[in-house]
Chains A and B, each alone.
Chain A
């Protein structure tokens, strides 16, 4: 084997391998925490506050990730039914219901045992977070802390440091951050260690910078990773290991892998024909198959709003100022979580801005029954985007958890028709090119 081949073998695919291992390690640790009856914090992907919780050595549980795992492992149906028997409507978020079942089963989950929450920490980035945490509050009597992050009031009116409105919001977020720290001190019995916090912020900085570079690596043709499938693995690490050395190292390696692949023309797909952007939340009950419906036509997902909002806005690459850790943490939380919200409610302008950079051929909108936060505005957003850019799009509805809401045959028909349209468009462009 040549040195080049050895390097390629070592680097290519490392992100997926290491990500899967980190995931197993994480769930093994959570299992041990549950067995020992030790403390844990329940958090969410959009503003996990991992930096603060890790300062108190609190293991973090992401119930959204636990729930999607039941769908990927094709056991979600049992979990959903159990919660519906308990009283929850078929018309509410499937993530919530799968988690209710996990709680009713004493933490039993296909990936191991999930500890009970000592504290629930959430932001307002999704309103269901609040209702969900209220369920734990009632079931377990744990305190819940909502860190209220004011978002963009109107498209294009975001404010920035120095602006009075921004400073008001920053003051509010910073005050709440201090209140969260006080609550953590009370719950854990530990004093807040500002130096440890600073070290954790440093790891989070490495990860954010890395995440931004990884996403940007997909400007290359062919795109080095699939935003839908590979991206979900990367997101898992970005959330579970935020603020840790393992997380920072992982993203340093991932940047190396993606930039290596980009430089060497190694794509996620052997033959990339169409470069697609995915808007929404993946179809986890048929996760692999859903992607195949696109990849079989040579369609590669090169970016997604999911990579933005489900990382809590880390895609911006915001770096905390370690000399002003608390002030900077409040500022970073405000800017990043706000961006996560923007990518759900105001993504049309973001798409307009990125399609040229990423050489996008088509947009796939995937609204889902379970998540109204992400899905409510997509039809309108699609119309707006169509009025600004001449890029074809597909609108296909299903769910992220509930296979009862998914018709694979119907989905395939629509996806096939979409690609036929894309093919015809490419042909016409080629003919027009020749004529010129």
Chain B
């Protein structure tokens, strides 16, 4: 089933236009098209979900990561003092834009861990928590997570009405390995030649993965990456920046576009869950164990997972060094407790390392960036002319 064809046969700028339009479309046309063709949908909230399990069952895994919708229906289900993403993710389901067959969330933070229960009280389809180990350093975490994935497989089987075999999951792992590899290429391009792909272009190319079948996304990236490499854009004298703080709620695309105008965003944690597994997942006869082991042993980091081997400030420092960034933008979504808490640790580390940084908060629905742009330009000029 194909759901996104607008880009096919188009020149690069047209392709990017269609990608941006799709990412900002709050009617979720690709999900509707998938359903119209009889497809089932598993919606998963941030940060990471082993999408191979849904894919192997013939479902489309959809990344629930907020929208630009006003939460007119969802507001009454929540109290005050909460981040926007949990409200707009519910709004997307309540307002009918995203019709699901299964909803899955993870206990990533105090607010999000309530989501499965809230969805469950409002929809008839299964709304579950998938536990990802909060103690990845336990010697049993890999085996236990494989069992937890097995539990999720049983739920999916019940919904689709047929068995989801190891062979099918292994085949899905291969599709996703190709996808991971293409995304790594995209980020390599961004890191090594950031003048060839702007921050917002890279962002939409990743974000689309959460709203179309992964095979289609592979086709899209395979077509776009050579076009980006062939671009004749010249390198400019811009500050290289790492953006940190978008592991869950995403900044609005206009904010990312503004960043792309003012600096080179050479690495970031935008939609990090789509890129969480850092290497290919081994294709073995026990695919659940392979997925589990990859999550524990070969994955990225975020403020919502504690791993003794991955102190977050050390991981950010590595990200900055690896991308040869001159500075960092340390952001947090408004009311995002883990993000705001991590900011403090990041700032003290950056001070110690004498790395320039800019601290900010954002909200997915913010629409005015004039003041923020001025502040960031001033910050960057200070570095450029220091």
A interface residue numbers (CB < 8 A to B): 86-89, 91-93, 96, 124, 126-128, 130-131, 133-135, 138, 144-148, 150-155, 165, 168-169, 171-172, 175-176, 179, 345-346, 348, 367, 369, 371-373, 375-381, 383-384, 397
Given contacts A150-B148, A380-B78, contact A179 B343 (CB under 8 A): no
- Contact partner of A172 (CB less than 8 A), chosen from B108, B111, B138, B343, is B138
* Cβ-defined contact, B140 with A154, below 8 A: no
Interface string of B148-169 (1 = CB under 8 A from A): 1001000000000000000000
CB of B110 within 8 A of CB of A176, answer no
Pair A379/B148 contact, Cβ less than 8 Å = no
Contact with A along B182-203 (1 / 0, CB 8 A): 0000000000000000000000
From 119 to 147 in chain B, residues with beta carbon under 8 angstroms from any chain A beta carbon are 120-122, 126-131, 133-135, 138-141, 144, 147
Known: A154-B128, A345-B117. A128 touches B79 (CB 8 A): no
A146 lies within 8 A of B337 (CB): no
B78 touches A168 (CB 8 A): no
- The reply on B338 being an interface residue by CB < 8 A is yes
A154 and B110 in contact, given A91-B340, A379-B79 (Cβ under 8 angstroms): no
Q: Which of A133, A147, A372 contacts B111 (CB 8 A)?
A: A372
Is the Cβ of A146 less than 8 Å from the Cβ of B306? yes
A169 to B145, CA, bound (A): 10
Smallest Cβ-Cβ distance to B303: which chain A residue: A131
Contacts of B241 in A (CB 8 A): none
Instruction: Identify the stretch in B55-63, B80-88, B218-226, B317-325 within 8 Å (CB) of chain A at 4 or more residues.
Output: B80-88
Expressed in whole angstroms, the Cα–Cα distance for A89 and B347 within the complex equals: 13
Report which of B130, B131, B344 forms a contact with A88, defined as CB distance below 8 A: B344
A128 and B131 contacting across the interface, CB-CB below 8 Å: no
Q: How many residues of B contact A (CB 8 A)?
A: 55
10 A/B residue pairs, CB under 8 Å, sorted by A: A89-B343, A91-B335, A150-B131, A152-B129, A153-B129, A155-B121, A345-B114, A376-B110, A379-B77, A397-B79
For residue B129, which residue of chain A has the nearest CB? A153
Min CB–CB distance A179 → chain B (angstroms): 6
Q: Closest Cβ of chain B: how far from A326's Cβ, in Å?
A: 14
**For the complex of A and B, 7 pairs with smallest distance between CB atoms:** A372-B110, A373-B110, A377-B114, A175-B140, A148-B135, A376-B114, A172-B144
Q: Is B118 an interface residue (CB 8 A)?
A: yes
Binding site for A on B (CB under 8 A): 76-82, 86, 107-111, 113-114, 116-118, 120-122, 126-131, 133-135, 138-141, 144, 147-148, 151, 303-304, 306, 312, 332, 334-335, 337-338, 340-345, 347-348
Taking each of A131, A135, A348, A375, which has the highest tally of chain B beta carbons within 10 Å of its own beta carbon? Answer: A131
Residues of B within 8 Å of A92, CB to CB, are 337, 340-341
Determine the distance from Cα of A173 to Cα of B80 in the docked complex, in whole angstroms. Answer: 35
Query: Are the C-beta atoms of B337 and A91 separated by less than 8 Å?
Result: yes
A contact residues around B334 at 8 Å (CB): 91
Which residues of the partner chain B approach A126 to less than 8 Å between Cβ atoms? 110
Tell which of B78, B134, B139 touches A124, judged by Cβ atoms closer than 8 Å.
B134
Closest B-chain residue to A385, C-beta based?
Answer: B121
Bound CA–CA A375/B312 (angstroms): 27
Q: Are A175 and B78 also in contact (CB < 8 A) when A127-B338, A168-B144 are? A: no
Give chain A residues whose Cβ lies under 8 Å from the Cβ of B116.
Answer: 153-154, 345
Query: Whole-angstrom distance from the CB of A173 to the nearest CB of chain B?
Result: 9
Partner of A376, one of B86, B129, B140, B342: B86
CB contacts (< 8 Å) of B140 on chain A: these are 171-172, 175-176
Asked whether A379 lies within 8 Å of B76 as measured between CB atoms, the reply is: yes
Residue pair A87, B107 in contact (C-beta under 8 Å): no
In the bound assembly, the distance between CA atoms of A369 and B107 in angstroms comes to: 19
Inter-chain contact A154/B127, CB cutoff 8 Å: yes
From B109, B312, B347, contact of A372 by CB (8 A)? B109
Do the beta carbons of A168 and B147 come within 8 Å of each other?
yes
- With most chain B CB atoms within 10 A of its CB, the pick from A96, A151, A380 is A380
How distant is A83 from chain B, measured CB to nearest CB, in Å? 9
Most buried by B among A135, A154, A367: A154
Expressed in whole angstroms, the Cα–Cα distance for A371 and B111 within the complex equals 9
Is A130 within 8 A of B79, CB to CB?
A: no
Residues of B within 8 A of A89 (CB): 332, 340, 343
In the complex, the answer to whether B347 meets A147 with C-beta atoms within 8 Å is no
Judging by beta carbons under 8 Å apart, are A346 and B117 in contact? Answer: yes
CA distance A138 to B306 in the complex (A): 13
B77: chain A residues at CB < 8 Å are 379-380, 383
**Is A134 a contact of B121 with CB atoms below 8 Å?**
no
B42 to chain A, nearest CB (A): 14
Chain A min CB distance to B305 (Å): 9
- Shortest CB-to-CB span from B94 to chain A, Å, is 11
Closest residue to A348 on the B side, CB-wise? Answer: B121
Closest Cβ–Cβ distance, residue B141 to chain A (whole Å)? 8
List the B side residues contacting A145 at CB < 8 Å: 135
Closest A residue by C-beta to B90: A380
Does B131 lie within 8 Å of A153, measured CB to CB?
yes
Residue of A nearest to B109 (CB): A127
Closest to A168 in B: B147
Across the interface, which residues of B come within 8 angstroms of A346, CB to CB? 117
A172 to B383, CA, bound (A): 50
